A = this chain, B = another copy of it.
Amino acid sequence: MTPYQKLESAFRHAALIDEATGFLVWDEAVHMPDQSAESRAEQMATLNVISHETLTKPEIGDWLDAAETAVAEGSNAELDAWQRANLREMRRSWVHTAAVPADLVAAITRASSACEMVWRTAKPKGDFKATLPTLTEVLRLTLELGQAKAAKLGIGVYDALLDQYEAGLRAADIDVIFADLAAFLPGAIERAIAGQAAHPPLEPKGPFPVERQRELSLKLMRQVGFPFERGRLDASRHPFCGGTPEDLRITTRYDEGDFAKALMGTLHETGHAMYEAGLPKAWRRQPVGFARGMALHESQSLLLEMQVCRSREFVAFAAPLMRETLGVEGPAWSADNLYRLGIRVQRSFIRVDADEVTYPCHVILRYRLERALVAGDLALEDLPGAWNDGMKELLGVVPPDHTLGCLQDIHWFRAGTGYFPTYTLGALAAAQLFQAAGRAIPDLRATIGRGEFAPLFAWLREHVHGKASFLSTRELLEQATGQKLGTAAFKAHLARRYGV
């Protein structure tokens, strides 16, 4: 075997181990009794260390060097463009992996699991202090990880953390985009709320039995084209998309008083799942075959949820289905009312429940705070105060307790620092991609109004899903939309939908 072929074999092996871990993560969220967490953490730490060992064997570095030299010298003529891109992604993956000692991998896995368990109990009580010992340890390990990667990548610690989730993403780029949004949004929110005030939507009255909500979720997933022969829908505390392209596992959460939570959660995660489902089969379990990054991943969930499923066209299509499946009727269930309900702008406390206009403010707050935490400019003890100050500044509201404040998100408690920005970059990319799809498919909105998703997904498969990690995010977006990532399409979308 050539060095490149040996690399393919090693990365495939590691990918298979990671898939097993992925199902343990899914099971932990969906089924595992809480008391089994420690035992599960040991299993996951074991697999993480083995996967890590697979990719940090000394030979891997040698094979990478040899394969890259062969490409540079032109003696690797047998490698096609995808294989060369695969080699590039192998190097990237290897740098991230090999930068971290195995004991740090195990320590982070265990500390995150322990911290998550504390957080689960502390969150409903609003007891941030209870999380401090474990959270301090997780942050310490996160910084250690970031420093190790930063040294190898030759970039800053926070940039190294960002780079884990979105290759090439740098704080300097985010600063420009977020400054633009932070200047634009407060006024836009003001105007959107004012514009909606004259005609508030009627509130549909529950309760909505979980079984009917689930049935509605399944119907709409089917309509969108979710491949149930290789995937399923379950419930968990926090909706997510797990599994593999051959076994897609999305989850949602049910609130008997608010049918929209489960429904929009399902459609959001279906967007993620469709990306995974559309990755090229030929490159499964190879670095070039994975989804490009978390910003682009989020663009696919938000494109489906925000751009498509909250559109007037889709709501008009879905309204009769909703009435029939939930067994409801009345003026609150008219397509127009449901549409206005789905785009209602509110200054609220909880990110995951936020509308698309206020959502970026939640993300900007977390971005500022986590950068300060990483830089050492903010002590964990002072996080609750800084959170509340930031909420006041960006959204004009202060949460009454930490349950609705700094305890709401799991990310920091699970060593996920550096992840938050991808949500808003994803929202921008979603707007930009949907705009481009609209140019390519002239009657796109009409197809959506008929519940037809094939044209949209054919376009996405060609321009996004099927590309996997062949291009950089920047290249992919430029080729698909003709522009680099910016705020223009998002602002145009808000202008169209909210008149702001």
Contacts and interface: CB of A to CB of B under 8 A. Distances in A.
A494 B495 CA distance: 81
Contact of A42 (B16, B21, B31): B16
Interface string A271-305: 00000000000000000000000000000000000
A230 interface: yes
A43 B16 contact: yes
Contacts of A19: 39, 43
B27 A23 contact: yes
Given A20-B24, A231-B33, A247 B40 contact: yes
Interface of A: 13, 16-17, 19-21, 23-24, 27, 31-36, 38-40, 42-44, 46-47, 50, 228-232, 234, 244, 246-247
17 contacts: A13-B46, A16-B46, A17-B46, A17-B47, A17-B50, A19-B39, A19-B43, A20-B46, A23-B24, A23-B43, A27-B27, A33-B228, A33-B230, A33-B231, A35-B229, A36-B244, A36-B247
Given A40-B247, A46-B16, A246-B39, A229 B33 contact: yes
Q: How many copies of this chain sit in the oligomeric assembly? A: 2
A21 B228 CA distance: 24
A234 to B, nearest CB: 8
B244 A39 contact: yes
B27 A43 contact: no
A214 to B, nearest CB: 14
A46 B234 CA distance: 27
Given A33-B228, A247-B33, A20 B43 contact: yes
Nearest to A231: B33
Contacts of A230: 33, 35-36
A394 to B, nearest CB: 41
A19 B32 CA distance: 14
Contacts of A244: 36, 39
Given A23-B23, A36-B244, 10 more contacts: A16-B43, A19-B43, A23-B24, A32-B247, A33-B229, A33-B231, A33-B232, A33-B247, A35-B246, A39-B244
A11 to B, nearest CB: 13
A82 B34 CA distance: 31
A343 B426 CA distance: 63
A122 to B, nearest CB: 19
Contacts of A17: 46-47, 50
Contact of A232 (B16, B31, B40, B42): B31
Contacts of A27: 23, 27
Contacts of A229: 33-35
A241 to B, nearest CB: 15
A277 to B, nearest CB: 12
A258 to B, nearest CB: 24
Nearest to A50: B50
A332 to B, nearest CB: 30
Contacts of A47: 17, 20, 47
A348 B20 CA distance: 40
B50 A246 contact: no
Nearest to A21: B20
Contact of A247 (B39, B46, B246): B39
A12 to B, nearest CB: 9
A211 to B, nearest CB: 10
Interface centre among A17, A34, A42 (most CB of B within 10 A): A42
A39 B20 CA distance: 10
A42 B247 CA distance: 13
A230 B31 CA distance: 11
A44 B36 CA distance: 22
A32 B19 CA distance: 14
Contacts of A36: 230, 244, 246-247
Contacts of A46: 13, 16-17, 20
Nearest to A243: B36
A230 B229 CA distance: 31
Nearest to A247: B36
Contacts of A34: 229
Contacts of A231: 33
A494 to B, nearest CB: 39
A234 B40 CA distance: 19
Contacts of A228: 33
A20 B45 CA distance: 11
A230 B33 CA distance: 5
A393 to B, nearest CB: 44
